């Protein structure tokens, strides 16, 4: 099959604008062990074992639906939620999580805004700053 096509392009000069920085400060509240967890295991390979002695073995995929608040206290206002996937991606005792998260805001200046993150995070620390 012979294919022919024509195209048109136009170059425009680069318009550099000064970078705008926005600092966001919020807390993600994740509940793993309760009657209403915000994280659930959705898949795990049946050919892997738990060489890293972790509560979440290698190759596990988790879905999450966490809430966002302005502080650590549980009685504070909910400002949004974080939904996404976590994958345990290392067989060693220093396993890492691969995170895909989408943060959606429901109040304030950033109401109806969202931001997505894709990152690697070590499982050796309980508190994470992103």
| pLDDT tens sequence across 34-51 | 888 889 889 887 765 555
The yes-or-no verdict on residue 89 having pLDDT over 90 is no
pLDDT of amino acid 57? 66
pLDDT of amino acid 92? 66
Burial class of residue 68 in the structure, from the number of CB atoms within 10 Å of its CB (0-12 exposed, 13-18 middle, 19+ buried): buried
Residue written as token pair 């890293």:
52
Contact 34, 103 (CB under 8 A): no
The yes-or-no verdict on residue 111 having pLDDT over 70 is yes
The yes-or-no verdict on residue 130 having pLDDT over 70 is no
Per the model's pLDDT, the better-predicted residue between 80 and 88 turns out to be 80
Mapped onto helix, strand or coil, the DSSP state of residue 26 is: coil
Per the model's pLDDT, the better-predicted residue between 19 and 8 turns out to be 19
């Amino acid at each position: 099959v012979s294919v022919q096509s024509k195209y048109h392009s136009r170059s425009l000069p680069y318009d550099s604008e000064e970078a705008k920085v926005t600092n966001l400060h919020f807390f993600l509240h994740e509940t793993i062990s309760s009657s209403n967890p915000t994280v659930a295991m959705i898949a795990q390979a049946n050919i892997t074992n738990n060489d890293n002695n972790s509560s979440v073995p290698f190759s596990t995929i988790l879905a999450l639906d966490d809430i966002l608040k302005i502080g650590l206290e549980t009685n504070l206002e909910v400002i949004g939620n974080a939904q996404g996937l976590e994958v345990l991606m290392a067989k060693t005792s220093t396993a890492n999580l691969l995170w895909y998260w989408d943060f959606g805001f429901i109040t304030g200046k950033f109401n109806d805004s969202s931001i997505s993150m894709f990152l690697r995070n070590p499982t050796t620390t309980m508190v994470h700053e992103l």
